[in-house]
Structure 1
Amino acid sequence: MVPPARPTDESLGRFRRLIDRLPLMIASFDRDRRLTFANEPYARRLGVSPGELVGRCIDDVLGAEVVRRMEPHIERALAGEDVEFEMPLPRADIGAQQVRALHVPERDEHGSVIGWHAAFQASTSDRRIESDARSLAMLVENANDFIGWCDLDLRPGYVNRFGLTMLGTTLEEVRGLTIMDFFFPEDVPMIRDEFIPLVQRDGFAAVEVRFRHFRTGAPVWMHYSVVSMRGPDDEVIGFATISRDLTARRRVEELIRGAMLRAEESAERLRAALEA
């Protein structure tokens, strides 16, 4: 029988990076209750680095009171049982937070339990955040305004349903373009050389400009309002827009201008008739 291949340092590194990016707090403990592994989210929750946690006793990491409440679940995991439960867990920035937890026994090659793996996910606040995010996403997607964002290279990352319909295109198509493709060629220099630099300088700018319907080529007048998006370190990471379709207003303005022009022409003809 060919023995199984041992994982390489490269594969272990890739696995570690994957574990660190999961939206879960993951840690492993031996039978002596000492931490043998912690991913980045677990360590970040406690306000330390993973290296500072390895080798420390669980009482020292989480506190004696938390471990006392967790003890029945730990005992069940060490007895070979998968355990799911909810409880408050310390968090460095906001204090205790309710989490969903899963404890899974770790076994050696003989099947003996040598410790346990623990996974935690914030429950109460995350549910509220997820609910708020879903509500916000629904609001944005169904808004009667053009809403979208792009990166610093002006490549769109998102355009809502109204915006896609207004442009006569799809999100997949839009992601292969830049926002300059939204405008008529004669308007691109103004957007590129004047408007975008103004947003970069001031963090906000607005202008009335024509968007171009991708299928028909028809102009769509918009109040184009753009703000800078900033990352956690306050650096600009892209641009976002909530822009209003001015087509109806422009149509009314054209009707008013036409009516005024006709009225002036009628008045001029009347003056000419009276003077004749």
Structure 2
Amino acid sequence: MSQQTPEEPPIGPVGPAPARMYDYFLGGKSNYTVDREAAAKVLSVFPSALTAARENREFMHRGVRHLARDHGIRQFLDIGTGIPTEPNLHQIAQGVHPGARVVYVDHDPVVLAHDRALMASAPEGATAYIEADVREPERILQHAGKTLDMERPVAVTLVALLHFVRAQDDPEGIVRTLMADLPSGSALAISQGSADLDPRLHEVQAIYAERGIALELRDRERTEALFAAGGVELLAPGLTVSYEWHPEFIGEGEYPRPANSMTPAESGVWVGVGLKP
């Protein structure tokens, strides 16, 4: 009998999962053979997937740092957290404000298995983990209120998540519910996959569909509608590709690179950050 690798349990998952595939694209080890095989298929039609994943994560780093440092936000609600990859969101936020409070939300059991990494808060701050689906916004807000002061500004981050929410699940309504009762000064950060930037993403969409994963690509107009639903005003530079969102911050994060070295096809996502008036 062959021995299992340390990260491969005797009985693995039946199908791939977006969070584990994303972990693979980021160079992580919390993924299974079925995830790696699906990721390899994606890479065969969209070779930029590794770069796109890393640029998406860099956008998250820059967005959180910008909101904490330049807008004074000290509370973050990160929905669709994914498998922990350092630096995690709370490490970015607490690097600016040690007392920052962060609530993570995900429904993948592998993320839950790693939730200790998400709970390692600075002593002045706090972190919490909620096992929930983004399609349960009321429940998320109810539980988040046990850690966050919902009367003070909260930044809601939906990074590389809403393209896994189908149109019939009303992503605009989800965003509207999440943001409706948050106070002025709260923020919304979104990254959304789009074939506007590379038509090969339609082939990626088909690969996910073959494996039972709905991937909802949205054009620029439909992505802007998500921010409108949240009642926020986009910060400069507005809705843009990942690597063009505050490029002056590039080099501060996990995957430093020279500025102006990217193409839209290597981003694959529209990104933006908005503030609630």
TM-score scaled to structure 2, two decimals?
Answer: 0.20
Greater strand fraction, Structure 1 or Structure 2: 1
Larger RCO (alpha carbons 8 Å, 6+ apart)? 2
